[in-house]
Chain A
Amino acid sequence: MIPLLNWFRRRSLERGLDRELQYHFDRRVADLSASGIPEAEARRRVAAEIGLAQVREEVRDVWLTRWFRDFLYDLRFSARSFLRSPGFTAVTLLSLALGIGATTAIYSLVDQVILHALPIKDPASFVLVDWEGDHVVGGFGSWNLMSYPICRDLQQQTRFFDGVLCRAEIDVNLAAGGDPKPVAAEIVSGSYFSVLGVGPALGRVIEEPDDAAPGAGPVVVLSYSFWQAQFGGALDVIGRKVLINNHPMTVVGVAAAGFGGVDVGAVPALWLPASMYAEALPGAEDLLNSPSRWMQILARLRPDLSTEQAQAGLLPWFRPWLEENARRPGFPVMDADTRRHYLASSLSLTPAPQGHSPLRRSLSEPLWVLFAATGVLLGLACLNVAGLFLARGSARGREIGTRLALGASRGRIGRQLLTDSLLLAVAGGVLGAALAPLAIRGLIAFLPLDLATTALRSSLSFRLLSFAFFASVAAGLLSGLAPAFHTRGDSVVSSLRERAGTGFGGVRLRKCIVTLQVAFSLILVIGAALFVRTLSSLLAKGPGFDTTSLVSFSLEPLKNGYSAADSNRLIERIHEAIRALPVTRDSGLARNELLTGGSWRNGVTILTDRRFTTDRGVDLNAVSPGFFATLNVRLLAGRDFDQHDSPPNGGPDPLCAIVNEAFVKRYLNGRDPLGVRIGVGSGPNVKPDIPIVGVVTDFNYRGLRAQTEQAFFLISDKNEDFGASFYVKLRGTPEQSFQAIRNVVRNVDPQLPILGLHTVEEQVSRSLNTERMLAALSGSFGVLALLLSLIGLYGVMSFVVTRRTREIGIRLALGATGASAIRLVLRDAVVMIAAGIAIALPCVAALGKLVQSQLFGVTATDSATVAAAALVLAAGALVAAFIPACRASNVNPTDALRLE
């Protein structure tokens, strides 16, 4: 530390030393003169006695310590030599900045989405409690779903846990004075805040009494950022009455700043206690006692236990619990086989310091892929810089030889070369870190909008800066090591004897580097080609229905206080009004929106000449008559629903069903599907009594990749869920009709929020966000990599040509043709390119397995793609090598021989 301080005040130190030495000098001269020596002679003698220059140097060594001074000298020397060759400096700096900037940007997302622990007390002790085995019971939500009763019972297991919480992510309508607006919320157990160790910023958080009995806690805790944004940070927000789904509740507090729930992908605006499930999730069954799965359970493991120990320890308790759970009202009837599977279930605990996140599930693989790609890119940039350094090193061969001859140690010179690359890398890192926030903002733009605005930041954190710093230092060491070691091998004599046109110092190393670069960039180019093909084949395939001039939006009247029957009547009224609009060509309703990643899914029991159940979930939906026509989905057999299909009041459940082609192919192959009876559910008590009346072509329901078996029923007040998505086929451009649609809804109920009014094309494109991100980024990485390796190849080839000018000149003088000179040089390049490709191909085969799940319509080792990528690379590389080769063929023999 002291050397650094001294360095900053070195000017005043120098002045002090000068004065001090001057005093000594003058006094000594005066004393000597006094003893009779002439003044001139005295001065000479004193100067020799003290050795002023030597003393100054030694004192400076004391101030700054030796190595630090050497380092400063090296730094100054490096900076000067870089400034002397601005072209070289700019190219290396830019390639390093690009590499470091890209890596830092991707790392920022990796960090935020995957690695970052929750901002809570001791996140390392958190585990996610999940079910292993057959749940039997259905559920709703994303992943790792558990029931509320099991969370309650786990809280008694204090031998293993220091607290257990459960939570679910929901949307509610919030009215605070004005019109109700949909907001994201988290519905949580009373233990939630205390187990997490998160306190209030204002008022109080949700506590156990709020969750003691159904309806016990009509209270709301706001998130800090929502409080700031929507309530302007008003202190009198505590005690304010708000409406949640049209039910009055009281704001009791604001959670601590910076806390955004346990899911990085879904930042809630507010928290509600689970006791208010009836108000928060209108139309739901008795969720506090039913075995239905809808929440995630997180627990704080006791510090003296491992997850395995706790898992094993819970088993004796869990076995009888399973029996008890099966007796709960609402538990489905099981046959003997299912029962055996159910009773074999166990609980699994996985460490969850980062909380629970479906986002992490969907994004972590693409992000790691991209992170690996940027790593390769950074490696490429380092190789490029190493190559350039080697080139410069051999140009500086004589300088280094001279320094060695004058007594510099090899270590000292290696250190100088390392300082060169470190200085450059750190400068590149600073530039890269400056670019990173821009790049991160660009990256976030590829992600779903709601996520981008709430959950992820594009600012540089300390962690990110330290990452960038380490990346730069690593890059500096990597790119400097090769040249530094290279000098070790040189003998003083040979490097001094070396002249232009003889010796081949560093060429072999540089060729290896270029070969590696070719390999690296081929890997990236192939990756890019695969992801681009994935995106284009998904886009070309489309969702399987006609999206032109199709818009969609959803309504959830239940959240505005409507009863189920009223909600259905309201939706019918709005649908009629929309149909009457002059811009409407066609329209249909569906219970569940398409292409959102989710679906209503259940096993189906089929009755043909025998009774059997589907071996996997069938995606179910309830639609209105005319829905298929609106989407231009063809009816392959039978008929569409019509008004006569709706069951009379109090009548039976759905009267008929329509299934898709995939369903017929999987379960009814070779049999006439019309008239076959099905029932929803797979238990022995399910009655398969719904006849199939039609078959439609396949189209995508959950997402563009999923080809699933589907079954449709007529939308009616018999379905479990009571919202609806409207699909409207319009005349003219969709955007102009948005206002007309809004007016229709507003005329019927001005307070009803319209959810997600957009064109279906937009929805399709949004559902391809991840694919687009992968294609765009890997594409640009591929182009960058190609560019870097071509520059590298060009550099080494020009170098070789310059080195061999004499030799080529002699050959030409002896009668070789220009073409043979070109061949001579190109042969080198072809060997490097071929070797690079040979290295890359097995790597691609190995890496292919890792990315296969991200691909669509193409395998990771698709020969056409690989061949095309290799061809592009080889062609580009040959062009890059051809330019110096041409120069070689134009060598004038006389000039070449004179060159010395």
Chain B
Amino acid sequence: MDIGVFTLSLAEWTAVRLTLRIAATATAVSLPFGIAVAYGLARWQFPGKGLIDGLVHLPLVLPPVVTGYMLLLVLGRKGVIGSVLADTFGIVFSFRWTGAAVAAGIMGFPLMVRAIRLSIENIDRRLEAASGTLGAPPVATFFLVTLPLALPGIIAGAILSFAKALGEFGATITFVSNIPGETQTISALIYTYTQVPDGDIGAMRLMLVATAIALIALVSSEMMHRQAQRRLTVAP
């Protein structure tokens, strides 16, 4: 058997690297926001909380294409915010890999927030009260007590968001199209392959790569989660 069929082509390598870059960027950039929103939803009572909660969860229930189209309307070159960003700061998302990261981040955001919020809600508030009586200002309590105790949920949320970003297709292709080397992710390339006569072998190779990445992410998250759960966190 010729093992050459298992060798990735240049376009496929590009798609793999691009997908990893998009997923990692989407997760890393959305994580602080995810923690902030999860904390707010878990701890604060304020008018309009239900609305915020709904907005955060919207990408989970909307068809991804609809989310992608909304992004195009808002963040596109001629979009409400996109035009301002482009004209004032020269920041353009549409048809760029950064736009793909935005789409992936937004699609994974509800999953991330849910996991983190749950773990924050499970923290005994008296531990934070104890921290306060020991002289820790609220910000110190957040970083020394709340965040370490929420770490298992934060890891779970980040991995879920990363996995979602790996597989994101509908919103991405709607918002930033399917441009080789810029926005053509593994999913988009598989889709392209299925549209051409001789694409089967390439699609299968990418299928194997995607499965491998997903498995590695899953297993490493399980390991990290267990580690964090067992010792709750590395001591500061």
* Binding between chains A and B: no
B-contacting residues of A (Cβ < 8 Å)? none
A-contacting residues of B (Cβ < 8 Å)? none
